[in-house]
Amino acid sequence: KQVVLLPGDGIGKEVMESAKLVLNTVATEYGHRFAFHEHAIGGDAIDRYGNPLPDDTLKACHQAEAVLLGSVGGKKWDNLPANKRPEKGLLGIRKQLGLFANLRPIKSFPALEHVSPLKQEVISGSDILIIRELTGGLYFGQPSELRENGQAAVDTLYYQRYEIERIVDKAFQSARKRRKHLTSVDKANVLESSRLWREVVEEKRQQYPDVTVDHLLVDAAAMKLVTSPDQFDVMVTENLFGDILSDEASVLTGSLGMLPSASVRSDGVGLYEPVHGSAPDIAGRGMANPIGMILSAAMMLRHSFNMEEEAAEIESAVNDTLNEGYHTADLNREGGKLVGTAEMTEAVIENIT
Amino acid sequence: KQVVLLPGDGIGKEVMESAKLVLNTVATEYGHRFAFHEHAIGGDAIDRYGNPLPDDTLKACHQAEAVLLGSVGGKKWDNLPANKRPEKGLLGIRKQLGLFANLRPIKSFPALEHVSPLKQEVISGSDILIIRELTGGLYFGQPSELRENGQAAVDTLYYQRYEIERIVDKAFQSARKRRKHLTSVDKANVLESSRLWREVVEEKRQQYPDVTVDHLLVDAAAMKLVTSPDQFDVMVTENLFGDILSDEASVLTGSLGMLPSASVRSDGVGLYEPVHGSAPDIAGRGMANPIGMILSAAMMLRHSFNMEEEAAEIESAVNDTLNEGYHTADLNREGGKLVGTAEMTEAVIENIT
Ligand SMILES: CC(C)[C@H](C(=O)O)[C@@H](O)C(=O)O
Ligand SMILES: CC(C)[C@H](C(=O)O)[C@@H](O)C(=O)O
């Protein structure tokens, strides 16, 4: 299996090492072979090649079956012009590989419920999958430019019906494998694109009569995520709403460093990355939480390589490790075992073998 | 003082009665005279005149010094075409009166901290003012239409520099009257309009050297509201981001029914309404929480009529009433005094006189 590794910036490099070790363990245990090809992206690529997404990296990604990404960005590159920023590399890769579906699972780990900012009775039992459209909407719509000599600016929220159809299909299929409840989020009382979105969901639901569907306005969704996160199963929404809501949801459990994500297209090719950022403040100190990256590697095994058993093995090893009390510095656990990136990775590996 | 009352739909009618009673009490105590002019809006106006914002209503609002609004909307009108829906009335009035600044104070009441979905140590001491731009952006940008025979849809995020300047000025001025900390929220790593927004904030800050400013991306803001709401003072952002973030923020304290809002322009004319919706499920049963509406009336006294003392009097009466244990059914308080709309209003009035 050909896997491109893009460690990127900050703690990205450190947690990528953890993912490699875990994947090598799985390879040995299950008799697979992963070929890793490492390339530059983001600020690191700007520093080395003057481009956040070098051609060489893009070419390697095009040839890969899956891409693992650490994290990109950092203060150092914040003042570069828009098209030279680290984020541009990320947006470029999503668009160019056609990774239209961003999957963001948010699950409260029983061992970690106490670290949530929410009361235990509010967060307990929450298990949400947010599916965000990733290659359309305001992120890519044209025109996006200054107007009238810099006295005005415009961005464009544009969706084609087929773009909505494919992400809505993905969402229905995901709901089928879970608790069969889909919540579609839009702003249909204001936006034309949201009304088209809602229309497509209404059409598609005929094909999935076993799935319960409801529509929620984005402002109401932002409220309900906080007041009753346990009421959601699968949530599907457009790019920018998904950006906001999935980040909001990611702090509900209090353990952002644990969360993985996948950006996939229909043929199984995908890019997998932890939800956390590059955390420049703790980079290079060996204290980053590698679990988000390790669980992203598990998502890769499941979605790109159809290795359900191997993915589940990693996930249960992570669970066991948490239950043993191991935690990194981002998680405050009285009486737990505080460890660094390497020891945490080692503990997970022990639970795999 | 000429005040237009727009009770609107659902519980809007009931809570408007409370506001009238409280304002009449203030009038007697302080020797003012408020002339109330009641008009139709939203679903109620659709039913009676076939138009969510009848000309007559709009004309009255244009002549008023302030408008008090109950709430609009309800399932009954959800399937009407976009331009006939109750919300259209609300958007029309904001735009036509030029009410560009939406003020949303969110404050945790000590007597009610336990009803928050957040842990007490997270929410305690939070006191945020979200200032949302209300007459620009995706809500009003053109084109907003179906394309390619209904196979695509487009909406437009458009801002002129002066629209950003006036809301940013309002935000700096508000910050000055509070804890002098302004957080500007945008998505400058993706949107051209956000880059213009950030540029304007950077220019304006020269005029307000006493105010500390930081910029936050909207996704990060959605996270931080949940993890550390007490870190914010004044937050300013564009229309849609403000819609989402202010609603997210409004559930943090757990007492949505208590929250007021103001939509104002530079000359003091404003529209005041509670944050809660029309709550059709409890409408007509005399159990709605009138505090959001009553505190909106207080905001009207302060912002439109410069009656600071009278406004503060209402606010402290509300505080006293809560401290006495009074609460409506939306707030779960063990050992408190559960009352309906009328009794709650009566209790507040007692504390004014
Ligand atoms: C870096 C940024 C452009 C990106 C986005 O908004 O999509 C990030 O916030 C994310 O969610 O992956
Ligand atoms: C009813 C709707 C159009 C409105 C908005 O989105 O502005 C509402 O959500 C609000 O925030 O007042």
Interface test with B, best of A156, A166, A195, A259 (most B CBs within 10 A): A156
| Closest listed ligand to the CA of A140 | 1
Nearest CB among A119, A145, A219 relative to B247 is that of A219
Provide the CB-side half-sphere exposure for A279 (13 A, CA): 22
Q: What is the pLDDT of residue B85?
A: 76
The reply to whether residue B91 touches residue A218, judged by beta carbons under 8 angstroms, is no
Given B151, B156, B252, which is nearest A226 (Cβ)?
B252
- Residue A124 dihedral angles phi and psi, to the nearest 5°: -55, 130
A189 and B153 within 8 Å at the Cβ level: the answer is: no
pLDDT tens, per residue, chain B with 353 residues: 999 999 999 999 999 999 999 999 999 999 999 999 999 999 999 999 999 999 999 999 999 999 999 999 888 887 787 778 777 788 989 999 999 999 999 998 888 888 999 999 999 999 999 999 999 999 999 999 999 999 999 999 999 999 999 999 999 999 999 999 999 999 998 999 999 999 999 999 999 999 999 999 999 999 999 999 999 999 999 999 999 999 999 999 998 999 999 999 999 999 999 999 999 999 999 999 999 999 999 999 999 999 999 999 999 999 999 999 999 999 988 889 999 999 999 999 999 98
| Residue A1 appears among annotated catalytic residues | no
Which numbered atom of ligand 2 lies nearest the CA of B72? 1
A342 in contact with ligand 1, CB cutoff 6 A: no
Q: What is the pLDDT of residues A289-320, one digit of tens each?
A: 999 999 999 999 999 999 999 999 999 999 99
A155 Cβ inside 6 Å of ligand 1: no
Which residues of B contribute to the annotated binding site? 74-87, 94, 104, 132, 219, 243, 247, 277-289
Any catalytic annotation for residue A219?
yes
The residue whose CA is least distant from atom 4 of ligand 1 is A87
Query: A–B: how many Cβ contacts below 8 A?
Result: 162
Measure CA A78 to chain center: 22
Helices and strands counted in chain B (H then E): 12, 14
Q: Which of A53, A84, A87 to mutate to test the pocket of ligand 1 (most atoms within 8 A of CB)?
A: A87
Confidence at residue A255, expressed as pLDDT on a 0 to 100 scale: 87
What pLDDT score was predicted for residue B89? 81
Please name the residue of chain B whose CA is at the shortest distance from the CA of residue A219. Answer: B244
How far, in Å, CA of A171 to CA of A166, rounded?
9
Annotated binding site for substrate: which residue ranges of B?
94, 104, 132, 219
Question: Best substitution site from A67, A75, A91 to test ligand 1's pocket, by max atoms within 8 Å of Cβ?
Answer: A91
Q: Which domains are present in chain A?
A: 1-106+255-353 (3.40.718.10), 127-251 (3.40.718.10)
Question: Quick check: A227 and B117 CB within 8 A?
Answer: yes
Judge whether A80 is closer than 8 Å to chain B, CB to CB: no
* A195 CA distance to ligand 1 middle (Å): 25
Compute the distance between CA of residue B249 and CA of residue B128 in angstroms, rounded to an integer. 9
- Active-site position among B187, B208, B272, B330: B187
Contact (Cβ atoms closer than 8 angstroms) between residue A34 and residue A297 = no
Q: Which of A159, A219, A244 sits opposite B153 (nearest CB)?
A: A159
The secondary structure of A13-68 as a DSSP string is HHHHHHHHHHHHHHHHHHT---EEEE---HHHHHHHHS-SS-HHHHHHHHH-SEEE
* B141: contact with A, CB 8 A cutoff: yes
Pick the catalytic residue from A44, A187, A272, A330.
A187
Whole-angstrom Cα distance, residue B42 to residue B8?
6
Question: What are the respective helix, strand and coil percentages of chain B, to the nearest 5?
Answer: 50, 20, 30
Give the one of A146, A154, A256 whose C-beta lies nearest to B157's C-beta: A154
Structure tokens at A7: 């460690």
Q: Which residues from B are below 8 Å from A52, CB to CB?
A: none
Which B positions 98-127 lie with beta carbon below 8 A of chain A? 116-119, 122
- The answer to whether the CB of B219 falls within 8 A of the CB of A247 is yes
What are phi and psi for residue B42, nearest 5 degrees? 70, -145
- Report yes or no: B177 at the A interface, CB cutoff 8 Å: no
Q: How far is B57 from chain A (nearest CA, A)?
A: 21
Assess whether B330 carries a catalytic annotation: no
Which residues, other chains included, contact B191 with Cβ-Cβ below 8 Å and sequence gap of 6+? A138, A144, A155, B157
User: Following DSSP, what letter does each residue of A72-110 receive, concatenated?
Assistant: ---GGGTTS-GGGSHHHHHHHHHHHHT--EEEEEEE--G
Residues 224-253 of A with CB under 8 A from B: 225-227, 240-241, 243-245, 247-248, 250-252
Q: What is the pLDDT of residue A219?
A: 97
Return the exposure string of B25-52: e unless at least 16 CB atoms fall within 10 Å of the residue's CB, then b: bbeeeeeeebeeeebbbbbbbbeeeebb
Is any atom of ligand 2 closer than 6 Å to the C-beta of A190?
yes
**Predicted pLDDT of residue A86:** 77
Q: Which residues of A are annotated as a binding site for substrate?
A: 94, 104, 132, 219
The reply to whether ligand 1 has any atom less than 6 angstroms from the CB of A248 is: no
CB contact under 8 A, A160 and B152: yes
Decide: B138 in ligand 2 pocket, CB within 6 A: no
Which residue, by CA, sits nearest to atom 5 of ligand 2? Answer: B243
Which residues of chain A fall below pLDDT 50?
none
Find the helix packing angle between A12-30 and A291-303, rounded to 10°: 50
CA B185 to chain centre: 18
Strands (E), A218-350: 234-237, 260-264, 270-274, 326-327, 337-338
Helices (H), chain B: 12-30, 42-49, 55-63, 86-97, 120-123, 161-176, 192-204, 218-227, 239-250, 291-303, 308-323, 341-352
Contact assessment for residue B18 and residue B339, using Cβ atoms and an 8 Å cutoff: no
User: Residue A154 and residue B193: Cβ atoms within 8 Å?
Assistant: yes
